[in-house]
Amino acid sequence: MKRQFIRIVIALAVCIAAYLVYRALGRYSIADIRASMREIPAWRIASGFGFVIASYVCLSWFDMLALRYVGRPLPYRKAALTSFTALSIGHNIGVAALSSGTVRYRFYSRWGLSGEQVAKIILFCGVTVALGLMTLAGLALVLQPGDGLDLLDLDTAAKRTLGFVLLAGPVLYIVFCARVRRTLRLRSWKLEPPRADIAIAQVAIGTANFACVAAALYQLMTTFTDAGYLEVAAAYVTAMLAAILSHVPGGLGVLEAAMISLMPASASIGALVVFRALYYFVPLLIGVPLLIASEAYFRRRPVRSAQQAQGQAREA
C-alpha cells in the first residue's frame, strides 16, 4: 500500500512537471530555444560548467563532514564517490532524501556503517542544504542594490529585513551547537548536535555550494540579462526552494517556471536549458554508470575474497 502511494505521488509529480514544462516552454519554438542557446559564448558555457564541478566538490564535503559527525571518517575518495553517485541520481529523480539516501546506504553499509549512522548522514546533509540556502538567500537580499529585482513584491527595506531574518537562522544554529552538548531524544532516535566547528563548516560549505550553482547560472544568463550576480542568486534560491517543496524529479519545469516568473524581462530559456544539461543531465550520465560499475565490483569482491581464502587454506 505504501509503495503504491509513493508511485502515485511520483506519477502526479511527473504530470505536474510536464505541465510546468509546457507552460514554461510553450511560448517558445524549438528554433527560438536553439537560437538562444547558440548566443551563449563557448567560454561562458565552459566557465559555467567549472562552477558546476565546484558545486559537486562542495557537495562531497557535505558527506565528509557528516562522516566526521557520526564518528566514522572515511577517505575522501570514498566520500566523493558516494556523494557524487547519490546526488547525480537524486537530483534528477527527486525526493532526494529517499533516492540519494538509498544510494548512500548501498555504499556506506558496505564500508561498515550502520543504518542509523547512514540515516544521520542523510539528515546532516539535509540540514546543510537548508543552512546553505538560508545563508545565500539572506546575503543576496541584504547586499542586493535597491534597484534590484522586486522579488516577492517587497520593497528594499522589507527585503533586507527578510534577509537578516534568514541569516539569523544559521547564526542561531551555530550558537545552539556550541552551547548544547547533551543528547537529544526523538522517539527511539538519539541525536547529538554537531560540534561548533563542524556547524560553522556546514554553513560555509553549504553556502559555497549554492553560490557556485548560482554562479553557473549567472554565467549562462549574463549574455541575455543586465541583472547582477546577487539578483540571479536571489532568484535562484527562491526558485530552488519552490523546486524542493514540489518534490518534482529534478525540479523539472518548476525551476524554469519560477526563474522565468521572477526574471520575466531578462531570463533566457536557452540559458536555463543549458544549465539543466550541465548541472543535472551530464552528472547523471556519469553517475548511473558509476553506480552500475560499483555494484558489479562489490558483487565480485566477495567471490575473489573467498577464492583467496581457499587458496591460502590449500597452501597451509
Instruction: Identify the pLDDT of residue 254.
Output: 63
Q: Which three cell numbers stand for residue 76?
A: 575522501
Which letter does DSSP use for residue 61 in this model?
H
In this prediction, residue 47 has a pLDDT band, given cuts at 50, 70 and 90, of very high
Contact by Cβ (8 Å): 93, 9: no
- Per-domain residue ranges of the chain: 43-292
CB 183, CB 191: distance < 8 Å: yes
pLDDT at 53 over 80: yes
**For 71-113, how does the pLDDT look when each residue is reduced to its tens digit (9 = 90+)?**
999 999 999 999 999 888 887 776 566 667 888 988 998 898 9
Q: Are 249 and 14 spatial neighbours (Cβ–Cβ below 8 Å)?
A: yes
Does this model's pTM top 0.85? My answer is no
Q: Which of the residue ranges 5-9, 135-139, 182-186 would you say has the lowest mean pLDDT?
A: 5-9
Cβ burial of 61 (10 Å; 0-12, 13-18, 19+) is: buried
**Residue at grid coordinates 547560472:** 217
% pLDDT > 90, the chain: 33
